Structure 1
Amino acid sequence: MTMIPIGLNERTEVFDKVADLTAKRLFAPGFNRADWIAAVESHRDRILKCETVEEFEGAVRDLLAELKISHVVFFHQSLQKIASNYAIGATFQPCQVNGTVRWMFQDVHDGSPPALAGIRPGDLLLDIDGQPIFPPEKPAFRMGGFCQIGVEKLSGEQVRVPLGVPLPKSKWHPINRPRLVSWSKPARGIGYLKAAGFPGQVGMDVAREIDRAISELHDCDRLIVDLRGNPGGGAGGLRLMSYLTPDKIPVGYSLSKKRAEKGYDKEKLPRFGKIPSRKIELFGLAFRYAFADKSIVMVTEGLGPQPFHGRIVLVVNQHTASAAETITGFARENKLATIVGTRTAGQVLGGTGFKVGHGFVLRIPVMTFYTWNGNCLEGKGVEPDHIIELSRDALRQGRDTQTDKACAAIGGF
């Protein structure tokens, strides 16, 4: 990897903007502005000594990580190191193998670079371009190029795998999306729907895909919804929530810092309860929300009864976040589904991005989400009804312990 130099004046300018924007604009439960300012000053000298983009980026990220707040991201638009769930559509979990802790591929979404390269859940990541990697160092990948990764397959065979990592459509929000929605019928009367993400602020495309999946599963009276490894996104998740209930039900509300400081009545906040079906309808949405405070109530669309209502299982894990986590919390709060897997990520804030100069971007949360009953899932997540870990031993036998439990639970309805 070529190291990109960055001068002291540029480093100082970027660092000061990051410090100032975070102090003034970040809005999240538990954020203490005075503690942040103190942390900035204690780390300043060390961070400003970093003479390359890569070192500087890493040092600022380390500082921001001390906040322990979701949706805080700092990166350079050369995209040298992007987290695996965004760069390659895959997640990892630590796994002990022969006395050594390794990273195990956990969620490998359909259409993602690892899936296309033949990698499957349960395979182990040994190295990236010859550099061994072990927990707690998290795998990260350069977008817009190729790398060679060392992989130990479930069979025990160790192989070298070339991995192409495409450039994202936007360097402003660098995410490579795998196949967003897939579905199948694993048994008579049982539908399986997997949602890998909800890209786009409004979510029209993913809403259409969810509609198509539900149409294909019209003869199923039981439904498994797999949200494992889903990092969330925009409002497209509302369509999936709307298929969990026949009625129009408040999901929850997002609050801006300004609205929270002024005080509010959740019943009087503006409501969003319909994903547009045509692009021309976006103009109305833009006119309605462009200049108004962004605090809103989300309400399901009232799509009517489905044969699987009352017989739904959600499968989640520690990588189920943001909009996917909102769905899980909504289902739990309204008793619309049985939840199987592991506790969700606890990352439900709404973020926005700021260009801070010299190719760097800072994304920080500016909205906080609450369920309709006033619960904030940030830092807490949703605990499943049935806690089931993903087992590598079971994967080696061709079984997924979490979907096995989902099938058992749905068979009991």
Structure 2
Amino acid sequence: MARENSNGRPTGLTFNQRAQIFDRTAARVTKEYFDPNFNGTKWPDLARESRQQILALEDADAFEHAMHDLVRRLGTSHTGFFHESVKRVPARLAIGATFHRTETAAGTLWIAQDVHEGGPAHAAGLKPGDVVRTIDGVAPPSNEPPMFAMGRDVDLALDRGSEHLALRISIPTPRSKKQPTATLKAVTWSIVEGNVGYLKVPILPGALGLDVAREIDVAMRELASCDKFVLDLRGHVGGGLGVLRLMSHLTPDRIPIGYTVTRKRAERGYDKASLPVLDRLPTDLPNPLAIARMAFKYAGRDTSVALVSEGLGPKRWHGRAAILVNEHTISAGEMVAAFASENRLAAIVGVETAGRLIPGSSSKVGAGYMLVMPKAEYRTWGGLRFEGRGVQPSVRFVWPAGPDLTDLSGQLSGALSALRGR
């Protein structure tokens, strides 16, 4: 039997347990990973060659790290291996913040960049530009951004300009252990610089995204009289089908957006124009009826699908829009930026996005461990694939790095400048 600590995390696994977890993981990757060529990595051979070495690791943490490293050798985003006790979660998911890495004579600094409203970091008082000195008394590693355990408090020592500060961040237990994410304020909006509508969407919660789609609709009604529009996707962490509504507001028409293709569909061949079409979120219905309708149409079938915008009609600001992105914009945020760029719906302002645009799915593989990997890939309607390379900006704006770090308003000013000529 596995030995567990107080939060249910294994401290030791038997050899047979490790073997069972390893073999389940290897079988699922071999059968279900979206690319039958394993992204050019010869992954099944790598798994066979490393099996005995990994199974010899009696320490549960060492076993988990080795399994994570093995799965990560597939070379795609949304790919990993972790325990459901969510001990190591990226900051963007655990606390609703991202960090910028800066090299100085004194060593590597991790500087808070995006701090999303409603998240644990924002509630604790973390601000863009804060330099993290220690986390629970230990300096963060230089080779990866800060990671956090969910369901506990964490103490940060910070430099804010010349001030030395201490913050305690209370990180809640995630609602879903399959997709551990802190709750963020998903939609905020305002009118800036005269009559420019500003909408910030850091996350699109919910698999079907019905509630967030309705929130986006409310924001768009409030901003309907604006002459120009800025969509802020800096630090966007991803989400579900609410992304269809967000993209649909960028164009008056029904136009193809992109498509996802599973391994099964790819292996037998397909015509993108013949894929099942998702072109409407039934937000006019109560959630139970809307969910039932979506389930009747799509559940239990191959998940390959073509996305088409909903045809929501013209807006005053169409043709005069900008989208803010940065190196932390991932997943659904990149879908929006790619759609807008490919169809010339908005100026993309910032730096290249993260190149993490592929849908990930999680599976249980035993003893509380989860395998996460993409079972389908996403391409724009023009056939572009942004996994591994991000969406390029049309207006480049690099977040300042140095002793004068303040907030992120400079990039918004850059977007407004880009819109003045439109």
Q: Aligned with 1:23: secondary structure? A: helix
The residue number in structure 2 matching 1:199 is 205
Pick which of 232-241 and 133-142 moved more. 133-142
The residue number in structure 2 matching 1:135 is 142
Distance 1:89 1:399, change over 3 A: closer
Select which of 28, 34, 39 maps to 2:46. Answer: 39
Asked whether the 8 Å contact 2:129–2:406 carries over to 1, the reply is no
Which AA in structure 1 matches 2:44?
A: I
> How far apart are 1:156 and its partner, in Å?
2.5
Q: Hey, what's the Cα distance between the residues in 2 that align with 1:60 and 1:321?
A: 24
> How far apart are 1:242 and its partner, in Å?
0.8
Select which of 60, 66, 70 maps to 1:59. Answer: 66
The residue number in structure 2 matching 1:300 is 309
Asked whether the 8 Å contact 2:43–2:73 carries over to 1, the reply is no
Pick which of 109-118 and 127-136 moved more. 127-136
Pick which of 294-303 and 5-14 moved more. 5-14
> How far apart are 1:88 and its partner, in Å?
1.0
Q: Hey, what's the Cα distance between the residues in 2 that align with 1:360 and 1:396?
A: 40
The residue number in structure 1 matching 2:221 is 215
The residue number in structure 1 matching 2:12 is 5
Select which of 232, 238, 241 maps to 1:235. Answer: 241
Is 1:356 aligned to residue 365 of structure 2? yes
Distance 1:32 1:332, change over 3 A: closer
> How far apart are 1:412 and its partner, in Å?
2.1
Q: Hey, what's the Cα distance between the residues in 2 that align with 1:28 and 1:377?
A: 15
Asked whether the 8 Å contact 2:236–2:328 carries over to 1, the reply is yes
Q: Aligned with 2:339: secondary structure? A: helix
The residue number in structure 1 matching 2:28 is 21
Asked whether the 8 Å contact 2:41–2:73 carries over to 1, the reply is no
Asked whether the 8 Å contact 1:389–1:401 carries over to 2, the reply is no
Q: Deviations over 1:159-214 (max 9, x none)?
A: 22111110111112211121111111221111111101112221111111111111
- TM-score when scaled to structure 1? 0.95
> How far apart are 1:286 and its partner, in Å?
0.4
Is 1:156 aligned to residue 159 of structure 2? no
Q: Hey, what's the Cα distance between the residues in 1 that align with 2:347 and 2:367?
A: 48
Q: Hey, what's the Cα distance between the residues in 2 that align with 1:30 and 1:107?
A: 36
> How far apart are 1:336 and its partner, in Å?
0.3
Which AA in structure 2 matches 1:15?
A: F
**What's the % identity of the aligned pairs?**
40
Which AA in structure 2 matches 1:275?
A: L
Asked whether the 8 Å contact 1:89–1:178 carries over to 2, the reply is yes
The residue number in structure 1 matching 2:257 is 251
Q: Hey, what's the Cα distance between the residues in 2 that align with 1:51 and 1:319?
A: 36
Asked whether the 8 Å contact 2:77–2:358 carries over to 1, the reply is yes
Select which of 384, 389, 392 maps to 1:380. Answer: 389
Pick which of 352-361 and 273-282 moved more. 273-282
Asked whether the 8 Å contact 1:23–1:33 carries over to 2, the reply is no
Select which of 71, 85, 89 maps to 1:82. Answer: 89
Q: Hey, what's the Cα distance between the residues in 2 that align with 1:197 and 1:397?
A: 24
Q: Aligned with 2:38: secondary structure? A: coil
The residue number in structure 2 matching 1:187 is 193
Select which of 113, 122, 125 maps to 1:118. Answer: 125
Q: Deviations over 1:284-324 (max 9, x none)?
A: 21011112211111011111011110000001112211111
Pick which of 121-130 and 97-106 moved more. 97-106
CA RMSD of aligned residues (A): 1.9
Asked whether the 8 Å contact 2:120–2:182 carries over to 1, the reply is no
Select which of 273, 290, 297 maps to 1:281. Answer: 290
Q: Aligned with 2:150: secondary structure? A: coil
Q: Hey, what's the Cα distance between the residues in 2 that align with 1:135 and 1:220?
A: 44
Distance 1:300 1:235, change over 3 A: same
Which ranges in structure 2 are unaligned for 5 or more consecutive residues? Answer: none
Q: Hey, what's the Cα distance between the residues in 2 that align with 1:205 and 1:66?
A: 36
Q: Hey, what's the Cα distance between the residues in 2 that align with 1:394 and 1:269?
A: 52
> How far apart are 1:399 and its partner, in Å?
5.9
Q: Hey, what's the Cα distance between the residues in 1 that align with 2:115 and 2:172?
A: 16
Distance 1:65 1:184, change over 3 A: same
Which ranges in structure 1 are unaligned for 5 or more consecutive residues? Answer: none
The residue number in structure 1 matching 2:76 is 69
Which AA in structure 2 matches 1:409?
A: A
Q: Hey, what's the Cα distance between the residues in 2 that align with 1:283 and 1:397?
A: 48
Which AA in structure 2 matches 1:361?
A: M
Q: Hey, what's the Cα distance between the residues in 2 that align with 1:12 and 1:319?
A: 36
Distance 1:325 1:98, change over 3 A: same
Q: Hey, what's the Cα distance between the residues in 2 that align with 1:47 and 1:156?
A: 47
> How far apart are 1:29 and its partner, in Å?
8.6
Is 1:310 aligned to residue 319 of structure 2? yes
Q: Hey, what's the Cα distance between the residues in 2 that align with 1:302 and 1:391?
A: 39
Q: Aligned with 1:396: secondary structure? A: coil
Which AA in structure 2 matches 1:295?
A: S
Is 1:175 aligned to residue 177 of structure 2? no
Q: Deviations over 1:217-258 (max 9, x none)?
A: 122111110101112111101111111100011101111111
Select which of 320, 333, 343 maps to 2:329. Answer: 320
